[in-house]
Amino acid sequence: MNWITRIRSAAERIKTAVRKRASKAEIAASKYISCHGVPVEKKIIEQNNFVCPECNKHHLMSPSQRFNMMFGENNWKKINSQMVKDPDVYNWVDTKKYTDRLKEAKKITGQDNAILSCESKINDIDVVVSAVNFRFIGGSISMDEGENVLASVQTAIDKKCPYIFVSASGGMRMMTNMLSLMQMTRMTIAINELRKNNLPYIVVITNPTTGGLSASIVSTSDICIGEGGNQGGATFAFAGRRIVETTTKGELPTDFQTVSWQQSKGQVDMVLDRKDITHTIGTLLSILLKKHKSENIEENNSLIKDPVQENKEAS
């Protein structure tokens, strides 16, 4: 065998060893999902609220799926908000037109914008909940999303009920430039109005939560709950890990910018598995609104930790 034949033989072996990468359409059509290095049936993940029963990875959920999990199917009412007339004022084009990206995102998610909001009840307590869909252009925030938050907060004020925000975002939407960044201020002002009315504001951080959303209303909650899972739980950050490493020139911990790490720094109040979040919110609201029953006092008190006692136990 001469050297040309050997090279040809090696090239053929490489071709058979390297598999063609699956397209997004093929991944969506597959019955399996990649999880802890082993394919798992999507049906099993879906039946467990999109959490892997083997490795506890918390997979993405759409807002409607989360609402069905929290309240039961059809036990919530969608909140409609005003849509801007011209969402593409900059006529943005990169590898695609922004208008084409919007059409595709609406088709994939079945939503008008990245945020879906609803009215419902937790433990017979009226609540207004907004959730971000990461599959809608990375959960990025622009004018329509800002309008949705404002409409939802106003609904909570009108109903005199708590407001819950479930985050999952890559930040503000670059295609709308300054008009997107303005939503950080608008949404924060809305939350301040909620506070003036003495209404609780709870944030649930899901994976990933980054950029301008983490720097605005996500960080201004009364109670901040991080969604757990494997490897420290959901990502909660402003800038990306590589940017921080380049800027600080230092070595970062492996769990850096996870909700578990943020909890150790005081940014997150508690980290919970997905299945425990709704029940815990209900208990917290019953305490804050003084609607808890006598048989739940012991459970309620377990959520209120005495910092003095904690320090004694730690020492």
* 172 and 140 Cβ atoms separated by less than 8 Å: yes
d(CA 71, CA 128) in angstroms, rounded, equals: 12
| Residue 130 or 13, more confident | 130
The CATH number of 60-301 is: 3.90.226.10
pLDDT at 308: 44
- Distances 26 to 20, 37, 144 between C-alpha atoms, Å: 11, 18, 31
d(CA 26, CA 233) in angstroms, rounded, equals: 28
209: three-class secondary structure by DSSP: strand
pLDDT tens, position by position, 161-201: 999 999 999 999 999 999 999 999 999 999 999 999 999 99
When mean pLDDT is compared across 31-35, 38-42, 80-84, 162-166, the lowest value belongs to 31-35
The whole model's pTM is what?
0.85
Token pair 């590898």 in the structure block, residue: 95
pLDDT higher than threshold 60 for residue 17: no
265: three-class secondary structure by DSSP: coil
pLDDT at 77: 98
Token pair 């109005």 in the structure block, residue: 193
List the structure tokens of 21.
């990468």
Q: Beta strand pairing status for 77-78 and 115-122?
A: antiparallel
pLDDT at 298: 52
The vertex-81 CA angle with 152 and 142, nearest 5°, equals 90
Peptide bond into 208 cis (omega under 30): yes
pLDDT at 2: 65
pLDDT higher than threshold 90 for residue 139: yes
pLDDT tens, position by position, 212-250: 999 999 999 999 999 998 889 999 999 888 888 888 888
Give percent above pLDDT 70 in the chain: 84
| Residue (of 85, 223, 92, 201) closest to 149 by Cα position | 201
**Residue 301 binned pLDDT confidence (cut-offs 50, 70, 90):** low
d(CA 288, CA 123) in angstroms, rounded, equals: 13
| Residue (of 48, 53, 34) closest to 230 by Cα position | 53
Mean pLDDT of the chain: 89
Single-letter amino acid, residue 285: L
* Domain layout of the chain by residue ranges: 23-57, 60-301
